[in-house]
Amino acid sequence: MTATSFEKNWDAIVIGGGPAGSASSAILAEYGHRVLVLEREKFPRYHIGESMIPFTYGPMERLGLIPLMKSSVFQKKYSVVFISPNGRASQPFYFFNRYDRNTVAQTWQVLRSEFDQIVLDNARSKGAKVIEEITVKELLREGERVVGVRAQTKSGETVEFRAPITLDCTGKEAFTSVRNGWRIKDPYLNKVAVWTYYKGSKREPGIDEGQTAVAYVPEKGWFWHIPQHNDMVSVGVVAEGKYLTRGGVKDPKTIFHREVEENLWIKDHLSTGGSTGDYYIISEYSHHSRHCGSDGLLLVGDAFAFLDPVFSSGLMLALKSGVMAGDEVHKAIVERDFSPQRFADYARFMRQGVENMRKLVYAFYDPDFSFKKVIDKYPEAAGEITDCLSGDVNKDFGPLWAKIREFVPLPEDLPVGEPG
């Protein structure tokens, strides 16, 4: 079936078949709504963002994905550890010290091409219609109201689809936020990431095999070290662009290998393995949208807010917002009311989560901050920090922020993204 022969009128249109789009369309299809997903790429497609945190469990459970995850080849992850440039490792933050070991506290390191295919197929199996290799170019409007999209197929044909509500799940490209002038860059979190994949490098023994290591380099940059299945490790460095390119170095491979010398643990762990030879570079300005949507339009996942990935919160936030958006849009369809105000609670809830994570990210990048100093003074902070690192972000972290503010300043909340 070609895109042009597809039904043109739907209950909901979802732009983007990543985790946010697949989650929201699965929920809507489960309610029995006719939902169309338009995805630019042909899946399976490459994507960065491979480490999950425990609170990804809830949305995956709601989507019916846990049995698949439990029987999958994906590497299990139980903790995160922080490594100083001289190679000294912190105590691991084990999620099972705070949450149930057999459910929430055990999470996964995934290969996104495989994981995203599973989540998209899950939406399909619940009844969502998915068209791949089609790019949304424009929103259709009647007055101020969004009434559908104009898209282009791979062969260049233009096709229009209509629905009373469109969900923008286009990831950090943030289709509508950019076009509407809603995108606000975070004033401080403007980093660059360079990464590759290693095979045959060193892994930790036992339950630490799948732990994420966050390994510092000077000037408050850091490496991620994410062990995956098939003896692969995803390893990348994140820092300010002017630090990474110092001396005029622009080539990702040269940048990467220069930084490996800056952390003894990373150097040692990679020493027995070899890179696949592919090196990636991306600018990863954190950003959020001034509005969560407008009449007939809702923003979900990274398209609403993209946060620096140091604590691996992206998948959790994408899936959680996808599920919540699915529920909220279902109510809107039933009540035939797509006014943006009805999504205000969704926006506040998602922003609260992003804000809590963002505060911990700011602390992390402050040269005067160390988890150890805070925990030495306030031992109970270890649990609170583990909760935030686990993605339990919709609770009151006021007591933790008060403790951390004794060491470093924390940012004020950003606007919540009220409906436009």
Residues making contact with ligand FAD (CB under 6 A)? 15-21, 38-41, 47-51, 135-136, 169-171, 173, 175, 193, 282, 284, 301-303, 309, 312, 314-315, 318
Q: E-strand spans in 68-217?
A: 75-77, 79-83, 93-94, 107-109, 129-131, 134-142, 145-153, 158-162, 166-168, 183-199, 212-217
Q: Which is nearer to ligand FAD, 38 or 381 (CB)?
A: 38
Q: Which is nearer to ligand FAD, 49 or 92 (CB)?
A: 49
Sign of CA dihedral 305, 308, 313, 319: positive
Q: Which is nearer to ligand FAD, 222 or 369 (CB)?
A: 222
- Provide the minimum distance between the beta carbon of 35 and ligand FAD in the complex, in angstroms, as a whole number: 15
Q: Which is nearer to ligand FAD, 161 or 369 (CB)?
A: 161
Side-chain-facing half-sphere of 201: CA atoms under 13 Å: 22
What is the maximal distance between C-alpha atoms in the chain?
65
Q: What are phi and psi of 109, to 5 degrees?
A: -105, 120
- Provide the minimum distance between the beta carbon of 399 and ligand FAD in the complex, in angstroms, as a whole number: 26
Binning the chain into helix, strand and coil, the percentages to the nearest 5 are 40, 25, 35
- Provide the minimum distance between the beta carbon of 136 and ligand FAD in the complex, in angstroms, as a whole number: 4
Q: Which is nearer to ligand FAD, 221 or 314 (CB)?
A: 314
- Provide the minimum distance between the beta carbon of 162 and ligand FAD in the complex, in angstroms, as a whole number: 16
Helix (H) or strand (E) holding 266, with range, is helix 264-270
- Provide the minimum distance between the beta carbon of 380 and ligand FAD in the complex, in angstroms, as a whole number: 27
Question: Can you say whether residue 159 is alpha, beta or left, with left for phi > 0 and alpha for psi between -120 and 50 degrees?
Answer: beta
Geometric angle at alpha carbon 237, from 205 and 388, rounded to 5°: 70
Instruction: Transcribe 37-54 into DSSP letters.
Output: EE-SSPSS------B--G
Q: Which is nearer to ligand FAD, 96 or 285 (CB)?
A: 285
Q: Which is nearer to ligand FAD, 123 or 332 (CB)?
A: 123
**First-to-last CA distance in the chain?**
37
Q: Which is nearer to ligand FAD, 215 or 374 (CB)?
A: 215
- Provide the minimum distance between the beta carbon of 337 and ligand FAD in the complex, in angstroms, as a whole number: 25
- 126: tokens are 């619940």
Q: Give CA–CA dist 236/224, Å, rounded.
A: 5
- Provide the minimum distance between the beta carbon of 320 and ligand FAD in the complex, in angstroms, as a whole number: 11
Show the DSSP H helices in 75-234 as ranges.
112-125, 175-179
- Provide the minimum distance between the beta carbon of 376 and ligand FAD in the complex, in angstroms, as a whole number: 28
Q: E-strand spans in 74-124?
A: 75-77, 79-83, 93-94, 107-109
Q: Give CA–CA dist 57/52, Å, rounded.
A: 9
Q: Which is nearer to ligand FAD, 153 or 352 (CB)?
A: 153
- Provide the minimum distance between the beta carbon of 78 and ligand FAD in the complex, in angstroms, as a whole number: 16
